[in-house]
RNA sequence: CGGGGUGUAGCUCAGCCUGGUAGAGCACUUGGUUCGGGACCAAGGGGCCGCAGGUUCAAAUCCUGUCACCCCGACCA
């Protein structure tokens, strides 16, 4: 490809509203342009990268036994009413009407459509197990899109769905997909981790996320350095605490006139936050619930949301509700002496404390030497907190570290959630109608582009992992317009490289060398060849890898073998 | 949805407070010089000052409304 025929669209200045490295570099390199909030055009350069990822994903999906199809991006309301998600999916669903005023949505995911296809086309157990996938543009009307294509509203996703007669078959395919995902992200040259995950609204029991490790990631993941344990912090557990010691101190009331926060109370009383119990009062339909946590721990809302008491929704109690229920303002409430109608659910770590400090349910007062059972009613113990760095791993092997990641893949076992709702049935060997089990497997194709850049860039621009690079080789003939000799030599080399099977971008613009170098480094081409009258006279070509500190001269006649040793021929 | 902010040339922004012929840098076009790390000189093209109302002799500037976008939060296979 010649730069004169390939619009590079690079920009020198940093766009004002780009906050992360990948967003900034994708705009500067001319890969994407914003059309509206969370909606981007893919310019030619960006599209080449996107296609490279799609190719790897497609190859690995096929190798894993999945078959490609393509479903519509626009889906009728009726299908979503069958699954019950027209209402449940909420504002994420972009709804629209056609000329007949029929309602549709722009598909945020395709469980409904795939179930409709399978129930119409698949009749017999002989056709199962079946795994279908597509690479499609989806739309989720995120409340706050940000970071460019990392959290866009419109995005490209690979989604696969598998159908099974029994759990063993689902387990087997799930494992095949898990392995395929690991191979995909490895092939793409990304540093990633597979972690146990919450299955969220998709539903189901078993679920893993594939997280690309990056400081700017929106997810926190916990993993043990001495075992395989790795989980999203939404879900991660610590090993249970040791059993509660017996009470040793008497319950004592202390005046804490202005100490409303854990930090203030601990400083005032000279005890660590891990000796305190903080109490959160939640409003649920028809009542209140108290959740108790150790002072140094945070409530994990995903875990709390699974409590039976909170199934019908919850919010934090208002200041007025707290006062009415406990007689004290927030900051002074505690589990001791709460009225009987309020269930007291303590996190395992809080429940393991003896002689703790907590609010006295009286303005300006705390208690010391408080103890469960003796002083405070305990309805139930549950795992309610988020793990923190240094917690013991749940398998007892090693301590947990917390890192940040970008979720690029997510696999689920859904059981019969969708097939049941959508009335998918297949006849088994006995001629009996069975509801198949399903798995679903997503990869954020466009998000991977951003994730790869987050992991691979420097102050000059992007540094593409080889398999993602829009071009393999940048060929820069310097000041070619002034030298016919150089023009001829460049043309010959360009043709040679193409014939050898390389993906080459030759810069034939009448630019000074500086801007040429800068552009190629910005767009991250992994290998650079420079031709000049000087090198022509010396019979050499200058080579520099994108990560190399210094260029090197290679004899012209040795160039092809030199490249063969360094890079793969593209297909 | 709550809070904050911004809409002026392709991009980054000044001008607005205190109303009076719309600006700079970068980018673009042409000519010249230069040219192995984002050159220089000269000449040029480019604007419904987000949109709609209002006040005024006169509005980018003041007032009202509206739309879009950005940031923080809630939200998020």
**Would strands A230-232 and A252-255 be described as parallel, antiparallel, or unpaired?**
unpaired
Query: Is A199 within 8 Å of A412 (Cβ atoms)?
Result: yes
Give the span between the Cα atoms of A466 and A463, in whole angstroms. Answer: 9
Minimum mean pLDDT range among A246-255, A304-313, A527-536, A546-555:
A304-313
- With a CB cutoff of 8 Å and minimum separation 6, the contacts of A248 are A354, A355
Question: Which of A169, A423, A382 is closest to A293 using CA atoms?
Answer: A382
- A300 sits within 7 Å of strand B by its CB: no
Question: Does the pLDDT at position A204 exceed 70?
Answer: no
Question: What is the per-residue pLDDT for A188?
Answer: 96
pLDDT, tens digit, for every residue of A97-126? 888 989 999 999 999 999 999 999 999 999
In A416-499, DSSP assigns E strands to: 426-427, 433-434, 437-444, 457-458, 461-462, 473-477
User: Which nucleotides of strand B lie within 7 A of protein CB?
Assistant: 1, 11-13, 25-27, 34-39, 68-77
Q: Which of residues 505-564 of A touch strand B (CB under 7 A)?
A: 512-515, 517-519, 521-522, 530, 532, 534-535, 542, 544, 551
Q: What is the rounded average pLDDT of the residues A210-227?
A: 90
Question: Does the pLDDT at position A354 exceed 80?
Answer: yes
Average pLDDT, chain A: 92
ipTM: 0.91
- Please tell me the number of Cα atoms within 13 Å of A374 on its side-chain side: 15
Interatomic CA–C1' length for residue A148 and nucleotide B28, angstroms = 27
Higher pLDDT, A160 or A287: A160
Identify, with chain letter, the residue nearest to nucleotide B69 (CA–C1'). Answer: A37
Q: Which of residues 310-369 of A touch strand B (CB under 7 A)?
A: none
Highest average pLDDT, of A252-256, A330-334, A555-559, comes from A555-559
- A216 sits within 7 Å of strand B by its CB: no
- The token duo for A20 is 């992360």
Interatomic CA–C1' length for residue A358 and nucleotide B36, angstroms = 71
Question: What is the per-residue pLDDT for A120?
Answer: 95
Higher pLDDT, A182 or A320: A182
C-alpha angle A370/A373/A379, rounded to 5°? 115
| C-alpha distances in Å from residue A40, one per residue of A70, A148, A443, A546 | 22, 8, 18, 27
pLDDT, tens digit, for every residue of A228-241? 899 999 889 999 99
Q: What is the rounded average pLDDT of the residues A524-539?
A: 96
pLDDT, tens digit, for every residue of A408-420? 999 999 999 999 9
How would DSSP label each residue in A442-466? Answer: EEEHHHHHHHHHHHSEETTEE---G
Work out the number of other CB atoms within 10 angstroms of the CB of residue A274: 14
Give nearest nucleotide to A461 (CA–C1'). B38
pLDDT, tens digit, for every residue of A383-398? 999 999 999 999 989 9
Q: Which of residues 150-169 of A touch strand B (CB under 7 A)?
A: 151, 157, 159
Rg of the Cα atoms in chain A? 30
């Amino acid at each position: 490809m010649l730069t004169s025929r390939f619009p590079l669209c690079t920009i020198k200045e940093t766009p004002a509203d780009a906050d992360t490295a990948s967003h900034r570099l994708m705009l500067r390199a001319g890969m994407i342009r914003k059309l509206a909030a969370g909606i981007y055009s893919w310019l030619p350069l960006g599209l080449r990268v996107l296609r490279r990822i799609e190719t790897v994903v497609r190859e690995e999906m096929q190798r894993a036994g999945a078959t490609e199809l393509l479903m519509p991006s626009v889906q009728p309301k009726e299908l979503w009413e069958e699954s019950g998600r027209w209402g449940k999916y909420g504002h994420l669903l972009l709804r629209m009407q056609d000329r007949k005023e029929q309602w549709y949505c722009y598909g945020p995911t395709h469980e409904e459509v795939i179930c409709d296809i399978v129930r119409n086309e698949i009749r017999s157990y002989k056709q199962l197990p079946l795994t279908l996938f597509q690479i499609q543009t989806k739309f989720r009307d995120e409340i706050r899109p940000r970071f460019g294509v990392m959290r866009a509203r419109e995005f490209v996703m690979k989604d696969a769905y598998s159908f099974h007669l029994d759990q063993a078959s689902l387990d087997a395919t799930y494992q095949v997909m898990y392995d395929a995902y690991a191979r995909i992200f490895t092939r793409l040259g990304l540093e990633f981790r597979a972690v146990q995950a919450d299955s969220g609204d998709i539903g189901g029991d078993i679920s893993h996320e594939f997280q690309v490790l990056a400081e700017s990631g929106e997810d926190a993941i916990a993993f043990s350095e001495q075992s395989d344990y790795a989980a999203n912090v939404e879900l991660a557990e610590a090993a249970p605490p040791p059993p509660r010691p017996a009470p040793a101190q008497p319950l004592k009331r202390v005046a804490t006139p202005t100490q409303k926060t854990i930090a203030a109370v601990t400083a005032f009383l000279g005890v660590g936050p891990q000796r305190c119990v903080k109490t959160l009062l939640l409003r649920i339909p028809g009542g209140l619930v108290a959740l108790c946590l150790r002072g140094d721990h945070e409530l994990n809302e995903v875990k709390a949301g699974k409590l039976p008491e909170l199934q019908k929704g919850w919010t934090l109690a208002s200041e007025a509700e707290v006062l009415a229920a406990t007689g004290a303002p927030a900051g002074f409430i505690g589990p001791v002496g709460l009225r009987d109608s309020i269930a007291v659910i303590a996190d395992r770590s809080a429940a393991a404390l003896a002689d703790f400090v907590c609010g006295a349910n009286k303005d300006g007062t705390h208690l010391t030497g408080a103890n469960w059972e003796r002083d405070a009613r305990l309805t139930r113990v549950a795992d309610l907190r988020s793990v923190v760095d240094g917690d013991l791993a749940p398998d007892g092997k090693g301590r947990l570290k917390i890192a940040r990641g970008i979720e690029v893949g997510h696999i689920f076992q859904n059981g019969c959630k969708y097939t049941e709702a959508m009335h998918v049935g297949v006849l088994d060997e006995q001629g009996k109608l069975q509801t198949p089990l399903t798995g679903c497997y997503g990869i954020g194709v466009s998000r991977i582009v951003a994730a790869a850049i987050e992991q691979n860039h420097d102050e000059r621009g992007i540094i593409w992992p080889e398999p993602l690079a829009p071009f393999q080789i940048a060929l820069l003939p310097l000041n070619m317009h002034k030298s016919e000799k150089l023009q001829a030599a460049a043309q010959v080399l360009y043709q040679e490289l193409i014939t050898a099977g390389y993906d080459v971008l030759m810069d034939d613009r009448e630019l000074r060398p500086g801007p040429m170098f800068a552009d190629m480094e910005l767009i991250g081409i992994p290998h650079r060849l420079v031709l000049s009258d000087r090198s022509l006279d010396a019979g050499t070509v200058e080579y520099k890898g994108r990560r190399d500190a210094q260029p090197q001269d290679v004899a012209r006649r040795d160039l092809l073998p030199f490249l063969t040793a360094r890079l793969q021929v593209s297909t």
